[in-house]
Structures are given as structure tokens and as C-alpha cells.
């Protein structure tokens, strides 16, 4: 039997869940080791969801377009929430079971089997889209388990990707001031505050089920317009 989804099915319950979760992680970000950057990714997407939900929550007074916008906003929000919960809540050594439950999440059962960090590196393909946007495709390197059928190898729950604007290519994600966690390929990124034609570098690593990071891939570059 599959484990139940962490997200409630009903939109009103999902809204309460995400609100409680973000309030808790923001108020404990220092103790639990969260960075301002990763929390900003969540709060930015939360804002989009809340605005769409407030408009479309009344079933008797909403249009199809408003309902579709609400559905799309929830899907996009869950795409960033799910890997965060998996890697940074369940896999957070600074959080106790009580801490996890206080976020509205059921803790995973503990196992004595150690989980190794992912092996191999993700392969990136950067495609400019116009409007200061970039579409990022990622896949396992040739010969890696799952490379022929999946965007991610087995035992991997997501990809941590970092961006550096201009300058020299980064050799690790730590050199990138901006980074994100994504779970599906391709993924569209928007760079609002950059000059057209600027070179942007991207570098990434796989994330394991306990939040372990694998080795970084070679940095790729792309210009956005």
C-alpha cells in the first residue's frame, strides 16, 4: 500500500497546511538550518498560490480562467514544496520527530540502513526562451541507473541547481548566490533583474532521500534576452 500524499486533497485544507508549514519553518529557520534563499523560493510561490486561491475559493463566484489559475498555482507550489519537505524536513538532522509533526507532517519511520549520497552527476541543457527566461533540461549521465527512462536516477528525489550571473564559471553550487530545488524536467526559470544578453551559469547536483547532495556537474552557460 502506498503512503498517503503529504498534501491534503481539498484546496481549503491544503491552504491551511501550507500556511502552518511556512509559518513554522520561517519562525525556526535558524534552529533548523534553513537558508534565506531556499525559504524565499517557497514564499514567492506561496504568494502566487494565496492570490489565486483568494480569487477562486468561492465556487459560486469564479470563472473557468480563475479556477484554472488556482489549479496551476497549486501545482507549481507543490513542485517546490514536495522536494523541500522530503530533503529539508524529513532529511533534516536538526529536526526531531516532534519538530516534524509541528509542521503538520507525519515523520518517516526510522531505518537502521544507512542511505548513501547519490552517485554520478546530472547533465544539464540550457535553452533560452526570450523574456529573460531559460528552460533547463536535466537527465542522468549515460550509464547511470535509470538514465534510459527517467529524468532522475533511482534513489534521487530532486535536483539542486545554482545560478551565477556573469563572471567566471562556478566550480560548485556553493559559489552560486541563487539556488533552487526542482523535481521535474524541463523547468522554466525567469531572471527579472538581469541585463539582456548576460551570460548565466548553471551548476547542479542530485539530492538523495535524506537530503544528501551528490557531486556537482560541470557548469553550463546560457545567455538570456
- Tell whether the torsion through CA atoms of 195, 224, 123 and 208 is positive or negative: positive
Say which DSSP state 172 is in: S
> Quick check: 124 and 136 in contact, CB under 8 A?
yes
Alpha helices per DSSP H over the chain: 11-27, 29-32, 36-56, 64-84, 97-102
Average pLDDT over residues 155-180: 90
Mean residue pLDDT of the chain comes to: 89
* 161: CB partners within 8 A, 6+ apart: 124, 136, 138, 173, 179, 180, 181, 182, 202, 203, 204
The yes-or-no verdict on residue 85 having pLDDT over 90 is yes
| φ and ψ of 205, to 5 deg | -145, 160
The yes-or-no verdict on residue 45 having pLDDT over 70 is yes
The Cβ-side half-sphere exposure at 220, using a 13 Å CA radius, reads 18
Tens-digit pLDDT profile for residues 100-137: 999 999 998 655 556 688 888 999 999 998 888 899 99
The candidate with the shortest Cα–Cα distance to 118, out of 8, 12, 215, is 215
- Model pTM score: 0.58
Tens-digit pLDDT profile for residues 188-209: 888 888 888 889 999 999 998 8
* 38: CB partners within 8 A, 6+ apart: 84, 88, 179, 181
Q: What is the DSSP string of 126-168?
A: EEEEETTEEEEEEEEPTTSTTTTT-SS-TTEEEEEEEEEESSS
Amino acid at each position: 500500500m502506498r503512503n498517503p500524499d503529504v498534501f491534503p486533497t481539498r484546496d481549503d485544507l491544503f491552504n491551511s497546511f501550507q500556511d502552518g508549514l511556512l509559518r513554522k519553518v520561517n519562525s525556526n529557520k535558524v534552529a533548523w538550518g534553513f537558508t534565506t534563499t531556499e525559504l524565499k523560493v517557497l514564499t514567492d510561490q506561496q504568494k502566487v498560490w494565496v492570490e489565486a486561491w483568494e480569487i477562486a475559493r468561492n465556487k459560486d463566484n469564479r470563472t473557468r480562467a480563475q479556477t484554472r489559475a488556482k489549479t496551476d498555482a497549486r501545482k507549481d507550489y507543490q513542485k517546490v514544496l514536495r522536494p523541500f519537505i522530503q530533503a529539508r524536513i524529513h532529511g533534516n538532522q536538526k529536526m526531531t520527530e516532534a519538530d516534524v509533526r509541528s509542521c503538520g507532517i507525519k515523520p518517516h519511520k526510522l531505518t537502521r540502513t544507512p542511505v548513501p549520497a547519490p552517485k554520478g552527476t546530472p547533465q544539464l541543457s540550457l535553452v533560452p526562451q526570450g523574456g529573460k527566461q531559460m528552460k533547463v533540461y536535466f537527465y542522468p549521465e549515460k550509464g547511470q541507473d535509470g538514465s534510459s527512462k527517467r529524468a532522475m536516477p533511482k534513489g534521487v528525489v530532486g535536483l539542486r541547481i545554482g545560478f551565477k550571473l556573469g563572471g567566471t564559471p562556478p566550480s560548485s553550487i556553493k559559489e552560486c548566490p541563487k539556488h533552487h530545488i526542482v523535481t521535474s524536467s524541463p523547468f522554466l526559470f525567469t531572471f527579472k533583474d538581469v541585463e539582456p544578453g548576460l551570460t548565466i551559469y548553471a551548476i547542479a547536483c542530485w539530492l538523495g532521500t535524506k537530503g544528501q547532495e551528490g557531486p556537482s556537474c560541470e557548469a553550463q552557460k546560457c545567455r538570456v534576452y
